[in-house]
Structure 1
Amino acid sequence: MGLLDRIFFRQRARTGSEEERRTSEAVGRVLAMNPRLRNARHYEERLTRVLKTSLNHTDSLVASLPRPRDANADAWSSDPMIRALFATPDDLAQAFSRSEELRAFFEENADSAEAYAVLGMAMNERHVLGVALEGDSIRRDVPQTTLCFSDHRVRICSGSEASLRGEIARRMVDQLALEGFASLAGNRRDLLRQSRALIEERVALLERQGTGMRAVVGAPSVTESDELGRLQTLMQENSQALAKLRVPAQQSEIELECVCNVFSKPSDHFYVQSRHVRVDAMNVVHPEGSEAGQEIELHFARIPGNPAVVRAFVLVRFPRRELLPGGLHIDAAMRAL
């Protein structure tokens, strides 16, 4: 065997072992969310098989996301995408500085000059009457569409782009697991009433904790330490109740089958979409081909649940030097309203 052949086989072995490690980790995360799946026959083998399909899907989604954009005052002046998301550079600094997760990252990583993060936000399209320039004339009361971004939140951050993308991929798998459990809660025919109620409660508790993609895109979830502690207690009580519940062996098979059905068809349950739009400095939308404004690419994730939410998001790189001092606890104030 030549040198190139040996290199090829070593690389393939490393790739194979990495895939096995990730699949095994994903199986462990799913079982931690619902330990009762262990009661089904060959549960590990069956989960491993379908999770490989889900991991391929999530890997493709994560790979399709653009490189992180710089999010700072200079970028607001030069990057039309960042400018579209914030009315002023001060708004940008305040939005990032009120993230407790981002502040905690910088406190725990004193040598990090920057953080890689996901900025999630709500986007609304408003139909208004505005002013437009046509040749040398100014027209008033012109129907226009403007984009409005609000509720900016940063919930996950990391020290590198690679680790941030890895965390996003793990959260996507968690989201699919939640969908599998939700399908169990909605199974009115085959599951026992008490079991269905406990699973439904578990899904609600996991969602309130920010499990899955809700934290990635900044959808509202419980973050106060006292409330998180209470939720953890409720989760433990729920786990104990599920463990004590006596159910027929066939029901364990049904539960695993429902979860595997979701993992085997991940694109049916979770997706990320992109949209190209041309906007000017006032976030007025202009038609394709127009010379006005500049084109930006927006990404959206639809997060199933009760209720389902759609959030815009962008991967960013935020510098420590622009973190405002004093600890703006605006997130807590907003949640109290």
Structure 2
Amino acid sequence: MLRFLQSIFGGVEQGRYPESLVKAAIERAVDGTDPWLRALSGYKKKLRPAVVRAIDHVVALVNALPSPIAVSSGSYGSDPRLKAFFMSTAEMRQILGSDRNLADFLKEPAAAASQVIALLMMEMQERVGFGVALSGDVVVHDVPQVTVSFVGHRLIDPSENEEKTRRQLMRRAYDHLLSIALGRIAIVKGEREDLERRRALLNAKLDLLQRGGWGFDETGSAGVPPSAALEEQLAQIEAELEEVGGDDRMLDVYLGIVADVLGRPEEYLWSGLETLIVDRLGIKRSEPADDAPELTLGVLYNSVGQNRVVTLVALPGEELRRAPG
């Protein structure tokens, strides 16, 4: 299944997709969220416009990534981006050498290629502290400083060529949209299950009160609400259940959630650029200098508040194969 999903984005051009791709993407949307959606008449027709919109988005998103940057022991000293991403050549080697996705790829026959292309993904962290600075010829102490560091490095979808990596990233971006839709479905299901539990509990209490002859007692006893109050609470829960959706229309609600996420993908997953100026020690500066170049970073954002710095990288195959396992 995974290999098939990676292949469905092969050779696509934005806005021009074979019917097989659209059909596969529709079925993937159902499999990735709630397979019971197939019970709905016309689910393919309802999902199709949203799915095409989502494909448009992920293709454009991935195609907008700049060409890979060279990441090797030799390129570290000459690329200010690598100096920002990694504290040293040794740290870079250690991080790459411990990456599980890369290790798994290097076990495949394709690892014999001259280079490996992957998406490097990291989290940028900022920490406020105090240091020293020059004011003219005077050294000033306890100056507020922001130190920038990059953590959580991961290599995503390594392969032997750039086209294949981009194709895999399109599939991954599409699946990420589905995971957001699934999260929203889970919230709705949880809300409904909670309301159902509360309704069952109140019904049980009301039944006990009525069987116990409390029907005309509006005061109740300690800790037990009177029947009128229980009936009012039940009415409120019934209204909330109606708003969430009855049993006969929950699949329609879930289908609507999937169509909404895929139909407005730019609101759930998007990319942008951030400018960063840091010196060799990772201290953030307001103006670029010889020891603090201005960097433009690609950042991937999603609707649940996550953001990661991303860049395509090209790793030398021979150097990777020489590295100790």
Contact 1:53 1:263 in 2 (8 A): yes
**Aligned-residue offset at 1:89:** 0.4
SS in 2 for 1:187: helix
SS in 2 for 1:102: helix
Q: Which whole-Å CA distance do the structure 2 matches of 1:275 and 1:94 have between them?
A: 27
Q: Which whole-Å CA distance do the structure 2 matches of 1:130 and 1:183 have between them?
A: 45
Deviation by residue 1:202-252 (Cα, 9 ceiling, x = unmatched): xxxxxxxxxxxxxxxxxxxxxxxxxxxxxxxxxxxxxxxxxxxxx955332
The letter for the 2-side match of 1:107 is K
Contact 1:93 1:322 in 2 (8 A): no
**Aligned-residue offset at 1:97:** 1.0
Q: Which residue of 2 aligns with 1:222?
A: none
Q: How does 1:91-240 map to 2 (within 5 A)?
A: 91-108=91-108, 109-187=110-188, 193=193
**Aligned-residue offset at 1:148:** 0.9
SS in 2 for 1:121: strand
Deviation by residue 1:263-305 (Cα, 9 ceiling, x = unmatched): 1111222222320111222222111466651111223333456
**Aligned-residue offset at 1:67:** 1.6
**CA RMSD after TM alignment:** 3.0
Cα separation, partners in 2 of 1:275 and 1:158, compared to 1, 3 Å: same
TM-score for the superposition, normalised by structure 2: 0.71
**Of 309, 318, 321, which aligns to 2:306?**
309
SS in 1 for 2:74: helix
Q: Which whole-Å CA distance do the structure 1 matches of 2:258 and 2:16 have between them?
A: 25
Question: What is the count of residue pairs matched by the alignment?
Answer: 263
Cα separation, partners in 2 of 1:17 and 1:296, compared to 1, 3 Å: closer
Q: Which whole-Å CA distance do the structure 2 matches of 1:290 and 1:24 have between them?
A: 53
**Aligned-residue offset at 1:260:** 0.4
SS in 1 for 2:266: helix
Q: Which whole-Å CA distance do the structure 2 matches of 1:156 and 1:48 have between them?
A: 27
Q: How does 1:43-122 map to 2 (within 5 A)?
A: 43-108=43-108, 109-122=110-123
Contact 1:115 1:317 in 2 (8 A): yes
Contact 2:29 2:258 in 1 (8 A): no
The letter for the 2-side match of 1:88 is S
Q: Which whole-Å CA distance do the structure 2 matches of 1:284 and 1:21 have between them?
A: 51
Name whichever of 268-277 and 285-294 sits farther off: 285-294
**Aligned-residue offset at 1:180:** 1.7
Deviation by residue 1:146-171 (Cα, 9 ceiling, x = unmatched): 21112222242112222212211211
Contact 1:99 1:155 in 2 (8 A): no
Q: Does 1:263 align with 2:262?
A: yes
Cα separation, partners in 2 of 1:322 and 1:135, compared to 1, 3 Å: farther
Contact 1:276 1:298 in 2 (8 A): yes
The letter for the 2-side match of 1:39 is A
Q: Which whole-Å CA distance do the structure 2 matches of 1:83 and 1:169 have between them?
A: 29
The letter for the 2-side match of 1:139 is V
Cα separation, partners in 2 of 1:167 and 1:304, compared to 1, 3 Å: same
Name whichever of 38-47 and 102-111 sits farther off: 102-111
Q: Which whole-Å CA distance do the structure 2 matches of 1:263 and 1:288 have between them?
A: 41
Long gaps (5+) in structure 2: 1-11, 198-245
Give the greater-gyration-radius structure (CA): 2
Contact 2:112 2:317 in 1 (8 A): no
SS in 1 for 2:170: helix
**Aligned-residue offset at 1:136:** 4.4
SS in 1 for 2:107: helix
Q: Which whole-Å CA distance do the structure 1 matches of 2:161 and 2:88 have between them?
A: 27
Q: Which whole-Å CA distance do the structure 2 matches of 1:19 and 1:128 have between them?
A: 55
**Of 312, 315, 320, which aligns to 1:318?**
315
**Aligned-residue offset at 1:87:** 0.6
SS in 2 for 1:256: helix
Runs of at least 4 residues off by over 6 Å: 13-17
Cα separation, partners in 2 of 1:14 and 1:93, compared to 1, 3 Å: closer
Long gaps (5+) in structure 1: 1-12, 198-246, 328-337
Deviation by residue 1:57-94 (Cα, 9 ceiling, x = unmatched): 22222222222111111221011011101011011111
Name whichever of 84-93 and 65-74 sits farther off: 65-74
**Aligned-residue offset at 1:137:** 4.3
The letter for the 2-side match of 1:58 is V
The letter for the 1-side match of 2:70 is D
Q: Which residue of 2 aligns with 1:210?
A: none
Deviation by residue 1:93-140 (Cα, 9 ceiling, x = unmatched): 111111122122122124212211122222211122223344544433
The letter for the 1-side match of 2:292 is G
Contact 1:123 1:147 in 2 (8 A): yes
Q: Percent of aligned pairs with the same residue?
A: 26
